[in-house]
């Protein structure tokens, strides 16, 4: 493993302008290539934590580093670099797909980072290949199924060659076949991954390590299987395995 972690968060605390304290001194270190599930009930602070990883929320108290680079919302040039290193795939792919064709959607980010011509075309083709969507390059995104659009959304992020791939509820609204196909794709990627999810079997399948956030506090950090075997811990944090599912 690299000596520089992909993500280092130290004593991160954050309150919204209305006074709602969302995070209380969170510490989290994720090594390069690790896959970590971020679990917890609604309102636990998971989204707030993710928004600090690429400077959408400024770091008011504590420190966030991505691949050794400090996330500083006041430094616009640094922020541009950070946002290319932390790629977030939103829960609704339609929040990310807005160009006339799949290929143009994937080219959008790299184009804005100065890529052109053959280099840009190669980036687009490579990202499409990684998610198994090469034949859909010239299709309008709105002609694709929901599962296909989610894969294209992943490709738009991979095209930026990020240090960390952040996935917000990646299995939500997918039929069983699409769910499995996406899992196969995610498993094949050589990248640091943070997966925000309520889908505990998906967390078990894709992430060896899980972190539970509850009320803005990290209440567990360890092996996913061990965490999911702890019925009391799950119950206390409003997390449930599907009926009949055993770890």
Q: How many of the other CB atoms lie within 10 Å of CB of 42? A: 8
pLDDT in tens, the chain (247 residues): 448 999 999 999 999 999 899 999 999 999 999 999 999 998 899 999 999 998 999 898 999 999 999 998 888 888 888 999 999 999 999 999 999 999 999 999 999 989 999 999 999 999 999 999 999 999 999 999 999 999 999 999 999 999 999 999 999 999 999 999 999 999 999 999 999 999 999 999 999 999 999 999 999 999 999 999 999 999 999 999 998 888 8
Query: In the chain, where do the E strands start and end?
Result: 7-15, 21-30, 35-39, 61-66, 69-70, 86-89, 164-168, 192-196, 209-214, 217-223
Instruction: Say whether pTM exceeds 0.75.
Output: yes
Q: What is the rounded distance in angstroms from the CA atom of residue 73 to the CA atom of residue 8?
A: 16
Phi-psi region of 6 (alpha: psi -120 to 50; beta: other; left: phi over 0): alpha
Q: Is residue 132 classed exposed, middle or buried when 0-12, 13-18 and 19+ CB atoms within 10 A define those classes?
A: middle
- CA distance between the termini of the chain: 28
Q: What is the rounded distance in angstroms from the CA atom of residue 86 to the CA atom of residue 179?
A: 23
């Amino acid at each position: 493993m690299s000596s520089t972690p992909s993500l280092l968060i130290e004593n991160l605390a954050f309150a919204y302008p209305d006074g709602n304290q969302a995070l209380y001194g969170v510490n989290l270190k994720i090594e390069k290539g690790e896959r970590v599930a971020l679990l917890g009930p609604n309102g636990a602070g998971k989204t707030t934590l993710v928004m600090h990883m690429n400077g959408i929320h400024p770091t008011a108290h504590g420190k966030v580093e991505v691949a050794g680079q400090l996330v500083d919302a006041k430094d616009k040039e640094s922020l541009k670099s950070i946002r290319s290193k932390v790629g977030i795939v939103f829960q609704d792919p339609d929040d990310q797909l807005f160009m006339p064709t799949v290929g143009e959607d994937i080219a959008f980010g790299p184009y804005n980072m100065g890529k052109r011509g053959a280099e840009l075309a190669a980036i687009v083709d490579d990202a499409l290949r990684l998610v198994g969507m090469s034949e859909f390059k010239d299709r309008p995104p709105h002609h694709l199924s929901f599962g296909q659009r989610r894969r294209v959304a992943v490709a738009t992020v991979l095209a930026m060659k990020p240090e960390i791939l952040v996935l917000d509820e990646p299995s939500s609204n997918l039929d069983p076949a699409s769910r499995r196909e996406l899992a196969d794709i995610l498993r094949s990627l050589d990248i640091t991954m943070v997966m925000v999810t309520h889908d505990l079997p998906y967390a078990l399948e894709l992430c060896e390590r899980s972190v539970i956030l509850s009320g803005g506090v990290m209440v567990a950090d360890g092996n996913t299987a061990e965490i999911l075997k702890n019925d009391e811990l799950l119950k206390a944090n409003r997390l449930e395995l599907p009926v009949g599912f055993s770890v």
